[in-house]
Structure 1
Amino acid sequence: MHPEQTFGGGQLNEYVDVEELVANIGLDEADVAWRKDFIGFDDDDARRLADLEPLLRDNQEAIADDFYDNLVVDERTREIIERSPKGIDALKQTQRAYLVSLASGDYDRSYFQNRARIGKLHELLDMPLKQYVGQYGVYYDLLLDRLNERIQDQVIDAVEEWATDREQSDRGGLGGLAETLGFGTERDDEVTLEESFEETIRGAIDDGLRDVLALLKVINLDMQVAVETYVDSYAQRLERSIDRRKQLAHEVETDVQGPIDELHETSEVVADRAERISAHTSTQADAVGRAASELSEISAGVEEIASVADDVSEESERTERLAAAGVESADDALDDLQAIEDATARVEGAATDLEARTDDIDDILERLEDVADRTTMLATNAKIESSRSEAADGTMGVIADEVRSFADQTKADIAAIEDAVEDVRADARRTVETTEETVRRVDDGTDRVRETVTSLEEIHEAARSTAAGIDEVTTATDQQARSVETTAGMVDDLSTTADRVATAAESLAAASQEQTASLQQVSQSVGRLTDEEPQPRTPIYERIG
């Protein structure tokens, strides 16, 4: 398949309405004819381009490769190439097809319609116009190198043809050519070239240049159409921008008119209120004077408060000292209570030991009572035995009576001892109970003393805080006194300022009236509003893929 048969099949084409495009730029048959006539492009140029087709076809690959090699070197052109949905190889193929199409077209409306589509595709890639047109400079350089060689070959062919013709004349052969060029002869005239040879050379060069001119003409026509697609795009953007700005101006005028009317009414209200402010300011000035007098009285009161605060501070310090002394006394009382508690514990222990000793005494008394019982029994037995005895002196009887008497006395003493022990035991129990009650009361007293200590400590801390607070009050009162004096001075200044405000209020009323007049001018100016920032658009090449 020939490259020119695949020319223009990229993805961007679906975003181009060619018929609308050519209609916008006015590209019809009459316009094409005028363009061709204006630059002198005729059938002879079309024939010459057809003669150049073999040259362009033979060099299409080399020219396309060199063309893109030049473009990719520059960063900006390389960026445009990278935007294209086609790869570099596909772009080279398109370029080869375009190159051949320059010499193989009918150069009618369809041909230039295709050229308009090509220009639009470049514009869709956001290729700047200067870059698009500038690329033709690279193209000229590549084409003219081949055309220069072709012209040189044409000149050589013409010379050889002329030499062949000269061989058939009387002065033929290389000698005739040498004489024509001015060699091997001593002619006196200054003419060194035969007119026919000069005409041959000139004719060959002129023919080659006409080929170049024909190629430049068709490229110029291509450029015209492509540039107009850019101009059309710019014009459409400008028209859309103008339409948006007109719409914006209309919307702004509509939106602003209401607030302007309200502002106009508000200005009148402001003017009225400014007059009222002026009146209120005069009243305020009088009030400020009275406030200054009252501040003087407040200042005296603050000084009195400062004096009282000093007295309270001294009393608070005294309270703090007493609370501290109370805490120390309470601590001493706790120590004494602790000593009493320890002594009571010892008494309780002694009473307990005493009760235990009475139990031991009971055991001893029981044993003594048993001995007394036995003694009584022995005395009884001795009495019986003495009555039976025939002894005349009665000694055993006396002994028996003494023993009984001793036993009875012993029992009586034991009974007394038992009563005493019971009394001691009872006293010991009462002592233990009293001691326990004393311990409980001492514990309660200790707890209360501790509570008292805690309260005293809190009182001490509160007194300390109160003293600190009083100091702060004193400081604050002093500061307040100074502030009141400062405020009194400010009130005097305020009184002066109030007078100035009254004057300014009158000026405000006048300015408000001027503002109302200015608003009317603003309302008229808004109708001429046309400024708007263009809306950003998403490039076509970013929507692909």
Structure 2
Amino acid sequence: MHPQQTFGNGGLTDALDVDDLVDRIGLDNEEIAWRKEFVGFDEADERRLADLEPLLQANSETIADDFYENVFEYEQTRAIVDRSPKGVDALKRTQQAYLVSLATGDYDQSYFENRTRIGKLHEMLDMPLKHYVGQYGVYYDLLLSRMNERVQAQVVDAIEEWAAERETEQDAGGLGRFVGALGLGVEDEDGDDGLEESFERAVRDAIDEGMMDVLSLLRIINLDMQVATDTYVDSYAQRLEESIERRKRLATEVETDVQTPLGELSDASEDVAERAETISDHTESQAAAIGQAARELDEVSAAVEEVAGVADEVGAESDRTERLAADGVEAADDAVAELAAIEDATDRVAEAVEGLAARTDEIDEIVDRLDALADRTTVLAANAKIESSRSGDQTDETMDIIASEVRSFAEQTKADLGAIEDAVEAVREEASATIATTEETVARVDTGTDRVRETVDSLEKIHEAAESTAAGMEDVASAADQQARGVERAAETLAELSGSADEVASAAESVAAASQQQTASLREMRTSVARLTDEAPAPEPPVYEQLD
């Protein structure tokens, strides 16, 4: 079986459409001819490669063994071999066939289609491109070491051939001829030692032939590498196209899914922007109101401080009132005591007046008795006078005198009784007036006493109220001081709130601006999402060319 038919046929080949792959990468006869020309591969290279077949045949097994020994040293490449449906021995045989095919191919479209199959099979085994290209470095090491030996052998052969030709031309011995060829002990026309020109030319030609063989081998390997790389690029392009197609489908789905939410979000963003502007306006108003409240609190604080001062003054006045009320209570107590004494004296006067009235009644009785006595004396005098007229002269005279005296006594007694009666009546009237006045005085004293007691009670209440007021004023003063401090703190807090409100207003303005920017971004996003579904040509896969 031809080596080219030996490798590239495995379990994965049935799943591979090589013709379609070749069409996709454009590997037709014209493309193959261009690539050959580009790297300088021609019929001379084909002849040289054909001459290398014995070398490759002889070393294929060793090279395959060395190649896979290197592969199995690395976990990554060993894992790829484990995924292959072929065993290691089969893979080595395939590798040997590949080496020989480098020198036995027709290098036509069929040859490169087979190379396409090989590259695709490696890609289907998920061998990274770095591994596939990197393995050619192993080939270079294994092949060029053999090529180096071949070139050296060719040089030796060329020297021996040159020496044989010289032997027929000169009589010198072999060693002498060789030494002479190397130019040792021989001077040229200019006096310089050097190699013989024919010998140098023979060596150079042998080396040049060897290097041309190496170059032909490298050129065919490069063409193989190009084709294999194309299969990777084609796979990447297919994946890219599939990814682009998925992206288009996803973009369509995304556009369908997000169109409504984007619209709602856009409307919501506009609403948020409007509300943020409203909040900003309200916040500015709030900041102004807080500033005004802070100024008013400053005024209130000043008023509270003034109230605190007045409260201190009122407290002092309340203390003085408390002292005066206490003095008034003491004076009222003294007045009540004096009123009690007056009431006692008034009671005694009333008793004395009552006694005087009783004595006046007794005097009236005495006056009545004296009046009766005077009447009887008068009657007696009259009777004495009557009797005297009936008696003698001396007796009459005495009786007249007695009668006169009695009459005079009676008249005087009657006059005195009248005066006494008038005096008693005056005393009675005065006593009655005194009693009335005393009763009125007693009533007034009782009323005054009641009022004094009420005054005392009021003063005591005033005293208690003054004490309470004094304590309250102390509390008021303390509360006023505390209120003043609280108002100052409230003013400071309001000042801070005013500053915060200004910051909030600025932040609200920023929010409004950000929301407007968000709305604009959402519009751009909607436009961008819509652009995802626009038809666009898929990007061309990169073309990898090998430069010589």
Instruction: Tell me the TM-score normalized by structure 1.
Output: 0.52
Give the CA RMSD over aligned residues.
4.0
Post-superposition offset of 1:16: 2.2
Given the alignment, which residue of 236, 243, 246 partners 2:245? 243
Post-superposition offset of 1:30: 0.7
Instruction: Answer yes or no: is 1:221 the counterpart of 2:210.
Output: no
Post-superposition offset of 1:15: 2.9
Per-residue deviation, residues 372-401 of structure 1 (Å, max 9, x unmatched)? xxxxxxxxxxxxxxxxxxxxxxxxxxxxxx
Query: Which letter maps to 2:239?
Result: R
Instruction: Answer yes or no: is 1:122 the counterpart of 2:119.
Output: no
Report if the CA contact (8 A) 1:166-1:176 is conserved: no
Per-residue deviation, residues 87-140 of structure 1 (Å, max 9, x unmatched)? 111110110010000000011111111111111111112212112111111111
Cα distance in 2 for partners of 1:57, 1:99 equals 8
Post-superposition offset of 1:22: 1.5
Query: Which letter maps to 1:206?
Result: D
The 3 A distance-change label for structure 1 pair 192 and 267 is: closer
Aligned residue for 2:12, secondary structure, equals helix
Post-superposition offset of 1:31: 0.7
Report if the CA contact (8 A) 1:53-1:104 is conserved: yes
Cα distance in 2 for partners of 1:51, 1:258 equals 74
Post-superposition offset of 1:202: 1.1
Query: Which letter maps to 1:13?
Result: T
Give 1:26-105 correspondences, 5 Å limit.
26-105=26-105
Equivalent residue, structure 2, for 1:201: 203
Post-superposition offset of 1:222: 0.6
The 3 A distance-change label for structure 1 pair 12 and 504 is: same
Cα distance in 2 for partners of 1:526, 1:90 equals 58
Report if the CA contact (8 A) 2:50-2:103 is conserved: yes
Cα distance in 2 for partners of 1:271, 1:223 equals 62
Cα distance in 2 for partners of 1:196, 1:158 equals 11
The 3 A distance-change label for structure 1 pair 214 and 183 is: closer
Per-residue deviation, residues 417-461 of structure 1 (Å, max 9, x unmatched)? xxxxxxxxxxxxxxxxxxxxxxxxxxxxxxxxxxxxxxxxxxxxx
Per-residue deviation, residues 490-539 of structure 1 (Å, max 9, x unmatched)? xxx9xxx9xx99x98999899679747733531331442599xxxxxxxx
Given the alignment, which residue of 253, 256, 260 partners 1:254? 256
Cα distance in 2 for partners of 1:196, 1:70 equals 44
Aligned residue for 2:528, secondary structure, equals coil
Equivalent residue, structure 2, for 1:370: none
Aligned residue for 1:519, secondary structure, equals helix
Post-superposition offset of 1:181: 3.3
The 3 A distance-change label for structure 1 pair 163 and 527 is: same
Equivalent residue, structure 1, for 2:159: 159
Cα distance in 2 for partners of 1:98, 1:161 equals 34
Query: Which letter maps to 1:231?
Result: V
Query: Which letter maps to 1:110?
Result: S
Post-superposition offset of 1:57: 0.8
Equivalent residue, structure 1, for 2:15: 15
Equivalent residue, structure 2, for 1:134: 134
Equivalent residue, structure 1, for 2:234: 232
Cα distance in 2 for partners of 1:186, 1:10 equals 65
The 3 A distance-change label for structure 1 pair 506 and 517 is: same
Equivalent residue, structure 1, for 2:523: 523
Post-superposition offset of 1:245: 2.2
Cα distance in 1 for partners of 2:29, 2:122 equals 24
Cα distance in 2 for partners of 1:265, 1:186 equals 102
Aligned residue pairs, count? 324
Aligned residue for 1:106, secondary structure, equals coil
The 3 A distance-change label for structure 1 pair 526 and 240 is: farther
Query: Which letter maps to 1:214?
Result: S
Cα distance in 1 for partners of 2:184, 2:260 equals 103
